[in-house]
């Protein structure tokens, strides 16, 4: 097993610890120290509370970290350029979902369903900002103080996208299920309604990582989903965060890094990481453990689909194709018969004449 181990990590401090500068961190924050001595402020978010947005903005603006680490991947990077205010979105109907799956595959369909869930939940909670706006807020605050000139003595700041590729995550989740399980999952997306959520449920969601809660709910029906959707991503983001700290430490130890640190200030050796509250526990509990690089390579790839699932999937596609083409052929034959059949005049009504 290949591994990297941190022997000097001090572990997490208590949430709410006051750091130099006099500001007090919010209760959703945890302070970690990397093996190299890089300070990490790990900030948990609910994804649907404006408090999370304000906390992300305030922490980034106060400590001015050189690196802002976000629970996003390259495929979701466009979120950073969206407005904080939520824009009206078109409702995703069952027909629209099936159309997306048919055109781009089930992974794209699941992604669309998740986006619709977050948008609809936002409407029910009465929020008027984009779900995930804490990432936008942290990004907007960071670029306010990031040096803009290439030769700026303070060096440069970094927005680190630290989550695993969303397509890899969804593919690994789907590969963990049998064909029958996938059909049941699709049925859940098509039939479950967020309208069934009570006012009490909505209130509790304001203090919860709603994406994690959704995955946990799915995990109750499909337990094999929890590993790829949650636990693997905990390990992946912990690895990327440790990797980010190691890179920053090497820069800080260089001659140019030391000059940049003097121009930047105390935040030069700090990383602020904004992730869902549901991931904080998994990252913190295993922060000081060795990183299994073999495991990182494994969970960064999409596993080969079992031959049985592949055959079953092709069978479903074949049945669907036969249904479409068969229906089309019958429609063609019916139209051809109708065109060949003469159109007779309608029968004249019978008029009864009374006899004298």
Q: Place 228 in a pLDDT band, splitting at 50, 70 and 90.
A: very high
DSSP state of 229: I
80, 135 Cβ separation under 8 angstroms = yes
Mean pLDDT of the 44-64 span: 89
Q: What is the pLDDT of residue 129?
A: 67
Q: What is the pLDDT of residue 276?
A: 92
Predicted TM-score (pTM) above 0.85: no
- Max mean pLDDT among 16-25, 93-102, 172-181, 327-336 falls in 172-181
Q: Place 12 in a pLDDT band, splitting at 50, 70 and 90.
A: very low
Q: Place 93 in a pLDDT band, splitting at 50, 70 and 90.
A: low
**CA atoms of 223 and 177, how far apart (whole Å):** 10
Question: In the chain, pLDDT over 90 holds for what percent of residues?
Answer: 37
| Token pair for 30 | 């945890």
Of 195-209, 290-304, 327-341, minimum mean pLDDT range: 327-341
Mean pLDDT of the 39-44 span: 95
Mean pLDDT of the 3-11 span: 38
191, 239 Cβ separation under 8 angstroms = no
Greater pLDDT, 189 or 219: 219
Greater pLDDT, 342 or 48: 48
- pLDDT exceeds 80 at position 11: no
Q: What is the pLDDT of residue 51?
A: 86
- Tell me how far CA of residue 143 lies from CA of 150, 156, 267, 295, in angstroms: 14, 10, 14, 34
- Max mean pLDDT among 12-21, 170-179, 262-271, 330-339 falls in 262-271
Q: Place 24 in a pLDDT band, splitting at 50, 70 and 90.
A: confident
304, 255 Cβ separation under 8 angstroms = no
Q: What is the pLDDT of residue 341?
A: 47
Sheet containing 39-45: give its strands across: 29-33, 39-45, 270-276, 67-70, 158-161
- Max mean pLDDT among 120-129, 136-145, 309-318 falls in 136-145
272, 64 Cβ separation under 8 angstroms = no
| Token pair for 172 | 């690994």
Greater pLDDT, 103 or 34: 34
Q: What is the pLDDT of residue 222?
A: 79
Greater pLDDT, 174 or 323: 174
- Tell me how far CA of residue 257 lies from CA of 154, 162, 301, in angstroms: 8, 23, 34
Greater pLDDT, 249 or 47: 249
Q: Place 110 in a pLDDT band, splitting at 50, 70 and 90.
A: low
């Amino acid at each position: 097993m290949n591994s990297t181990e941190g022997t000097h990590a001090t572990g997490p401090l208590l949430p709410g610890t006051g750091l130099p500068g006099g500001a007090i961190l919010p209760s959703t924050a945890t302070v970690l120290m990397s093996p190299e001595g890089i300070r990490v402020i790990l900030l948990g978010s609910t994804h649907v509370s404006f408090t999370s947005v304000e906390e992300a903005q305030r922490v980034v603006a106060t400590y001015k970290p050189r690196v802002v680490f976000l629970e996003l991947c390259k495929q979701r990077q466009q979120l950073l350029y969206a407005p904080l205010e939520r824009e009206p979105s078109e409702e995703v109907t069952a027909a629209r979902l099936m159309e997306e799956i048919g055109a781009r595959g089930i992974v794209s369909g699941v992604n669309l369903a998740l986006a619709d869930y977050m948008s609809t939940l936002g409407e029910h909670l009465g929020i008027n900002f984009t779900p995930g706006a804490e990432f936008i807020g942290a990004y907007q605050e960071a670029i306010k103080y990031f040096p803009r000139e290439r030769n700026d003595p303070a060096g440069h700041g970094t927005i680190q996208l630290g989550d695993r590729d969303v397509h890899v995550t969804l593919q690994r989740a789907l590969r963990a299920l049998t064909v029958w399980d996938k059909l049941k999952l699709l049925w859940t997306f098509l039939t479950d309604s967020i309208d069934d959520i009570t006012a009490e449920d909505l209130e509790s969601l304001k203090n919860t990582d709603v994406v994690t809660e959704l995955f946990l709910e799915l995990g109750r029906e499909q337990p094999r989903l929890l590993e790829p959707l949650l636990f693997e991503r905990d390990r992946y983001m912990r690895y990327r965060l440790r990797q980010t700290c190691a890179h920053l430490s090497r820069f800080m130890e260089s001659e140019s890094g030391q000059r940049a640190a003097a121009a930047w200030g105390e935040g030069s050796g700090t990383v602020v990481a904004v992730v869902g509250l549901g991931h904080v526990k998994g990252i913190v509990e295993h922060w000081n453990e060795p990183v299994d690089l073999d495991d990182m390579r494994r969970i960064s790839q999409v596993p080969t689909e079992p031959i049985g699932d592949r055959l079953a999937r092709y069978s479903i596609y074949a049945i669907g194709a036969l249904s479409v083409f068969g229906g089309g052929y019958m429609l063609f034959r019916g139209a051809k018969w109708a065109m060949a059949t003469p159109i007779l005049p309608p029968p004249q009504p019978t008029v009864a004449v009374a006899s004298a």
